[in-house]
Amino acid sequence: MPSKILAIIFMIYSNILRTSSLRASGAGSGWEQKSLFRKEDFNLQEGPKGQNLRIGLASPEQIRKWAERILPNGESVGRVLRPHTIHYQTHKPETDGLFCERIFGPIKSGFCSCGKYKGPRPEGDSPPFCEQCGVELTDSRVRRHRMGYIQLASPVTHVWYLKNRPSVISHLLEMPLKDVESLVYCGSFILGPGTYSKFRLLGTLRIGTHERAYKRILTRKRLRARKHFFQTKPNPSDPLSIKIRQNNPEAAQLGPEGRQTSIKLSQRIILARKRLLKMASKPILEPKLICNKFYVPWRIALELFLSKWYRDCESREIITGGYGIQRMLINLNLQNKLVSLQKNWEKVVEQTEKMWFPVSGKYKNSEHSADIQREKRLIIRSSKIIRDLIQSKTQPEWMVLSVLPVLPPDLRPIVELREGLLITSDLNELYRKVLFRNEDLSIWLSYQGTLVLSGLLARLQRASLQRAVDALLANGMASSTFRDYNKRAYKSFSALIKGKKGRFRENLLGKRVDYSGRSVIVVGPLLALHECGLPREMALELFQPFIIRELIAKQLAPNLRAAKSMIQNKEPIIWKVLQVIVQNRLVLLNRAPTLHRLGIQAFQPVLVGERAIHLHPLVCAGFNADFDGDQMAVHIPLSWEAQVEARILMWSPSNLLSPATGRAVAVPSQDMLLGLYVLTLEGSIGIYGNRHLFEQPADLRSLLSTKLHELKEDEEHQTLRASRYITGSVKKDKQYQYMKDSHDASTYPDCMKNKSIDPLFKPRRPIFYNYDDVIISLQQGALPNLFCFLWLRWETKYPVVSSRKGPIEYQFDSSGNSVNIYENSYIKKNQKARRVSKYILTTAGRVLFNQQIQQSIQEHFTSLRTEGPALNASTFPIKES
C-alpha cells in the first residue's frame, strides 16, 4: 500500500478519534505530499508523521493545540464562533463558521475566499496566505484533517463517562448516578469550598458541656436581658404579634411601654431555654434581641440565622452543572482514593469472615450479606477505574469538556444536488445547536447579577447546552433525543463510528486484502504459545507464489504452468515444500473488530489436516475470542521487512501485557483452570471416598458399584477426611488407609528399584529422585493416578511451605546421622549437622504440571535463540501439599 494512502487513512482515523475528545498521536516515518505547492510555504508538515495511534482522554490544552494555528501576520485561527455554514446565495463558507476557509483551509487549491488569488502559481511568486481574507493558500486536502474547536461558556460532562454502565464519574465521586445526573443537568447544586465549613457550624457545636456551665450561661444571659430591658422597642401591634402574645402568657406580661422590670418564667419556658443553651455554649444573639423575642421559638430561629449566618449565605457561591463535576474531580486525589478503597476492602472482608459459618457454609443474615457483596463489587470497579487512570496518566477532570473539538468539514460535508437542493450531514445540525445554545448562555452569564431572573435562566441554559453536547456525542443516550422536521433522530458521532456500518469497521478496517483467508477457530491444546494451527488447504493457497518459486528454484518444475499443475494435482512433493516454507515464516491472525493492538498478532504456523484454525487458548483474551463459532482472518507478511517487524512487534510472546493498563492478558481461565486444579489435587478419591474410607482402591470401586444407602459407617469415619491419612508421618493404625503401606517392589519400574532408603525414616510412599522417574512411573502404571502422594528429592534452596516452623520429630542413629521430619518434608543430615538430602511430599500431578511449565519455557527461550544458562528443575519450585 503506498505511503500516501496510509497517510490519508491515518488522517481520517485520527480525526475521528479527536472529535470524541480522545487523543491520537502519530509516530513513525514521514510521508511526502506531492502537489503544485511547496510544503515549506504552505505548512503541510502539520499532517501526521506515521501510522501509530495512542487513544486516550485529551486535555483542553491538547484540543486547542489540534486546531489553533498562527498565521504569518500573528493572528490565531481555529476557534469556531458562529453557527452558520454557507451563504444561502453564493454557497460560500461563512467566516468563523463551521465551514470557514480561514480555519479549515481553502475549498479549491490555491484559491482564497475573496478572489485575490486564483489557482496555483510558480514557487516564490505567491505568499503563504491572502492578506485580505486570511485564507492560507495550500492544498484543499487539508480540509480532511484540519480541526476547529468551540470554547464552551460553561463546562459540560462527557456523556460516555456519565451514562455508560458502569458510570465512571459516579464511581469516582462515590455518588449515586441519579445525584450525579441531577447535578449535571442543574437540578441540584453544591456550595463553594470557601463557605462550606461555615454551614457546618451547627454540627460542630458543643453539646456535652457540664451542667454547671449551662447554669452559668443561663444566669449571664438573664442578667444581660434585665440590663437592656428598657432599651427594647415596644411590642408591635400587628395581628401576628398580638396572636403570639395571646398564646404565650409570658410574652403578654411585657407592656408596650416597658413598665415591668422582671418576668416570672414558667417551668416550660425555663426548660426550653436550657435546651436552647445546650446547643450553643457561647452568645448567639445580641442583648437587645433577647428581652422581648427570646421566648418565641420561630423568632429565635430567625434572629439566630440573621445574626450569624445571613451574611455568609448572602455571599455564598452556588456551583451546578458540569462546572460542579469538574471542581469535584479536580479536588480528587487518585492515590489517596486508592488507599481508602483498600482500607474499605479490608473492613468488608473482615465483616464477611465474621458472618461466615464454617460448619454450615452459610451467612447469618442473607440481606446484610447481599449488601456486603454489592459493596465489594463497587470497591472492585472503583479501584479498577482508578488504577487505569493512574497507569495511563489521565486526569479525571478531562471527562468534563470545556473545549469541544470540531470535526474537519470534509468528513461532515454539504452536498449540492440538482436544482440547488442541498443535503447536509447530521453532525452539522448538531454542531449548530451547540453553538446557538452556547451563545445564549454567554449572553445570560453577562447579565447575571443585574437582572432578577438571570441566575435561573443561566442554569436552565446550562442544562440546555449539556443536552446539546450529549446529542452531538451520543444522541439518545441521555434523556432526550434530537430529531429533525420529519421526526427522524439525528445520527450522532457515536452512531457514525460504531457497529459494522461505522467508519472503523466498514471504511478503515473492513477492506479486502490479497494473500488472506478466513476460517473458524478451535482450541489447540497441544500448541505452543507462539504457534497456530493452519489448515493445509488454506496454507497451500496462501503460500502458492512461494511454492511456485521454490519448485522452479529446486528444478522440480520447468516453468510456471508446470508448477501450478503440480499444485492443483496436490502431488506429495508439494506438502514437503510447503512444510519447509512454513517453518521460516510468520502469519498474522486478526479477529474483527480490531479495537486495540492485541486484535492482530503474529504466529508460527503449524500445518493441520482440519479446515479450522487452531488457536492457543491463552491468546484468546487479547483477541476477545471464544470457541463458539468465531472466525479469524489469516494474512501473510510478504516482504522480509514485514516478517522482521511481525516477529519483533507483533509476535504473540511479545504481547503478554495490555498496552493500555499494563496488566497480564495471557491469563488462564475456564477449562485451563479446571485442568490445573485437577493436576494439583491432594490425594482426592472423590466425594464418596472422602466420606467413606477404604483400605484399598479396589474397595472404593466395589463400593461405587453398590448402593450407597446399604453402607452404614461409624459417625467418626464419616467426618474424617482422606487427607488426614496421607501425610508423611508413620501411623500404626492401618484401618483407614486407602493406599498400601508400601508398594510391591515387583510393580516398580526400573527407575525405582535398587534405591536405598534411609534406615531411620521409612516412609510408606514411593521415593523418586527427579521428574523423569515420576513421568516414567506414570507411563508404566506404577502410580495409580495423578493424585497419589510421593516423596521427591528436592535440591533447591527454596523453603518448603508449612504451617509449622519447627520439625515434628527428630531421629538419630548410633553414627550421629539424623533425620528432621517436618509436616511436608524431611531432611537428612550427617554427623556434622550438614544437609545430605531433602525430600518433599507432593503429588504426581504437580510434578507433571511443573515439568510441563519448565519444558514450555525452555522451548520459548530456544525459539528466541537467546544465549544464557540452561534452566533446571530447581528454577520452578513445586507447591507442596
CB 584 within 8 A of CB 550: no
Q: Categorize the per-residue pLDDT at 499 as very low, low, confident or very high, splitting at 50, 70 and 90.
A: confident
Q: For position 26, what pLDDT does the model report? A: 43
Distance CA 846, CA 677 (A): 10
For 446-457, the pLDDT digits (tens) are 876 556 566 778
The answer to whether the Cα torsion of 320, 321, 323, 325 is positive or negative is positive
Q: For position 156, what pLDDT does the model report? A: 94
Which residues fall in the annotated binding site for Zn(2+)?
112, 114, 130, 133
Q: Using the 8-state DSSP alphabet, how is residue 614 labeled? A: E
The 3-state DSSP class for residue 521 equals strand
Q: Categorize the per-residue pLDDT at 408 as very low, low, confident or very high, splitting at 50, 70 and 90.
A: very high
Residue 71 or residue 866, greater confidence: 71
CB 387 within 8 A of CB 663: no
State the Cα angle at 640 between 637 and 642, rounded to 5°.
Answer: 45
* 407 pLDDT above the threshold of 90: yes
Q: For position 25, what pLDDT does the model report? A: 45
Cis check: omega of the bond before 759, within 30 degrees of 0: no
* 49 pLDDT above the threshold of 80: no
Residue 60 or residue 312, greater confidence: 60
For 658-714, the pLDDT digits (tens) are 887 788 888 888 888 888 887 777 654 443 443 344 444 444 444 444 433 443 344
For 117-155, the pLDDT digits (tens) are 887 765 655 567 888 888 888 888 899 999 999 999 999
Distance CA 329, CA 173 (A): 8
Which residues fall in the annotated binding site?
112, 114, 130, 133, 626, 628, 630
* 297 pLDDT above the threshold of 50: no
* 403 pLDDT above the threshold of 80: yes
State the Cα angle at 765 between 764 and 766, rounded to 5°.
Answer: 125
> Residue 545 has which C-alpha cell?
507464489
The 3-state DSSP class for residue 69 equals strand
Beta strands in 330-386 (DSSP E): none
* 750 pLDDT above the threshold of 60: no
Residue 79 forms beta bridges with which residues? 149
Residue 832 or residue 718, greater confidence: 832
Most confident among 333-337, 497-501, 689-693, 770-774 (mean pLDDT):
333-337
Q: For position 768, what pLDDT does the model report? A: 87
Burial letters 674-687, b for 16+ CB under 10 A, else e: eeeeebbebbbbee
Residue 659 or residue 573, greater confidence: 573
Q: Which residues contact 291 (CB under 8 A, 6 or more apart)?
A: 225, 228, 229, 232, 254
Distance CA 722, CA 829 (A): 31
Q: For position 217, what pLDDT does the model report? A: 57
Q: Categorize the per-residue pLDDT at 803 as very low, low, confident or very high, splitting at 50, 70 and 90.
A: low
Residue-range domain boundaries for the chain: 3-146, 159-192+319-400, 407-497, 512-543+585-667, 746-875
Q: Using the 8-state DSSP alphabet, how is residue 200 labeled? A: T
Burial of 11 (0-12, 13-18, 19+ CB in 10 A): buried
Q: Which long-range contacts (CB under 8 A, 24 or more apart) does 821-827 make?
A: 821/728, 821/729, 821/761, 823/727, 823/728, 824/728, 824/800, 824/880, 824/881, 825/728, 825/794, 825/800, 825/880, 826/728, 826/761, 826/763
Q: Which residues contact 8 (CB under 8 A, 6 or more apart)?
A: 144
Q: For position 252, what pLDDT does the model report? A: 52
Distance CA 728, CA 766 (A): 11
Q: For position 115, what pLDDT does the model report? A: 81
The residue type at 464: S
Beta strands in 6-161 (DSSP E): 22-23, 56-57, 69-70, 76-77, 148-157
For 740-749, the pLDDT digits (tens) are 333 343 334 4
* 656 pLDDT above the threshold of 80: yes
Q: Classify strands 516-523 and 531-535 as parallel, antiparallel or unpaired.
A: unpaired
* 15 pLDDT above the threshold of 60: no
Residue 44 or residue 788, greater confidence: 788
Q: Categorize the per-residue pLDDT at 305 as very low, low, confident or very high, splitting at 50, 70 and 90.
A: low
Burial of 218 (0-12, 13-18, 19+ CB in 10 A): middle
C-alpha R_g of the chain? 41
Cα–Cα nearest to 326, from 405, 395, 406: 395
Q: For position 764, what pLDDT does the model report? A: 65
Q: For position 14, what pLDDT does the model report? A: 45
Question: Spelled out in words, what is the top-level CATH class assigned to the domain 512-543+585-667?
Answer: mainly beta
Q: How many CB atoms lie within 10 A of CB 520?
A: 14
pTM of model > 0.75: no
Q: For position 157, what pLDDT does the model report? A: 94
Most confident among 263-267, 314-318, 589-593, 738-742 (mean pLDDT):
589-593
Task: Give me the mean pLDDT over the 609-638 stretch.
Answer: 92
Cα–Cα nearest to 53, from 28, 20, 33: 28
For 85-106, the pLDDT digits (tens) are 988 888 889 999 999 999 998 9
* 842 pLDDT above the threshold of 80: yes
Distance CA 876, CA 871 (A): 9
Distance CA 711, CA 12 (A): 75
Task: Give me the mean pLDDT over the 7-26 stretch.
Answer: 43
Q: For position 33, what pLDDT does the model report? A: 32
For 159-212, the pLDDT digits (tens) are 999 988 889 999 999 888 888 998 899 888 776 654 433 333 333 333 333 444
Distance CA 780, CA 816 (A): 39
CB 749 within 8 A of CB 786: no
CA distances, 784 to each of 739, 842, 846 (Å): 10, 15, 15
Which residues fall in the annotated binding site for Mg(2+)?
626, 628, 630
Instruction: Give the mean pLDDT of the chain.
Output: 73
Residue 670 or residue 340, greater confidence: 340
Q: For position 423, what pLDDT does the model report? A: 87
